[in-house]
Amino acid sequence: MSLKAASELQDAGIITESGNAEEYKTGDWRTFVPRFVEENCIHCMFCWIWCPDSAIEIDSTGEKPLMKGINLDHCKGCGICAHECPPARKGNSALVMVREEK
């Protein structure tokens, strides 16, 4: 990405376009990463609701939305999804936090 010069910028660094947080990749902040265990998933969308980074990818083309996996460009590895995943209470979590090897 080429960086802009001062003369090309808005004064005060004000951002005038909305919705551009998506361009800011924060995935490399992680220590732990959620692993998606598809066979345990009940597609309840809890993880999607709770994720602070909109990093849960869903397939919304069908009648009901389906959990597809994790967007690792934005997932910061906070583990909220794994904590909130309902099957986890029965020991069958669909999201398991594992230390990420880099």
Partner 1 sequence: MEQKLVALTGNDAVAYAFKQARPHVASAFPITPQTEMMHKFAEFVANDEVDTELILVESEHSAMSAAVGACAAGARTVTATSSAGFALMWEVLYLAASLRLPIAMAVVNRALSGNINIHNDHSDAMGGRDAGWIQIYAENAQEAYDNALMAFRIGEHPEVRLPVMINYDGFIISHTSEALFMVDDATAYDFVGPFKPAYSLLNVENPITVGPLDLTDYYFEHKVSELEAHQKAFDVVRAISEEYGRLTGRHYELFESYRLDDAELALVILGSTAGTAKDVIDDYRRRGVKVGLLKVRLFRPFPAAEILAALSGKQVVGVLDKSASFGGWGGPVFTEIRSALYQSPNGRPPIHNWIYGLGGRDTDMKQIAEVIDSLQAVSQGEPRETINLLGVRL
C-alpha R_g of the chain: 17
Torsion of CA 54, 56, 60, 66, to 10 degrees: -150
| DSSP code for 82 | H
98 binding partner 1? (CB under 8 A): no
Q: How many residues bind partner 1 (CB under 8 A)?
A: 13
Q: Which of residues 17-76 bind partner 1 (CB under 8 A)?
A: 18
CB of 102 to partner 1, least distance (A): 22
Among 15, 62, 64, 91, binds partner 1 (CB under 8 A): 15
CB of 85 to partner 1, least distance (A): 30
CA distance 20 to 48: 20
9 binding partner 1? (CB under 8 A): yes
**Beta-carbon count within 10 A of 34 CB:** 28
Options 11-19, 48-56, 60-68, 69-77: segment touching partner 1 (CB under 8 A): 11-19
Spatial contact of 46 and 19, defined as CB atoms under 8 Å apart = no
Binding site for partner 1 (CB under 8 A): 3-7, 9, 11-16, 18
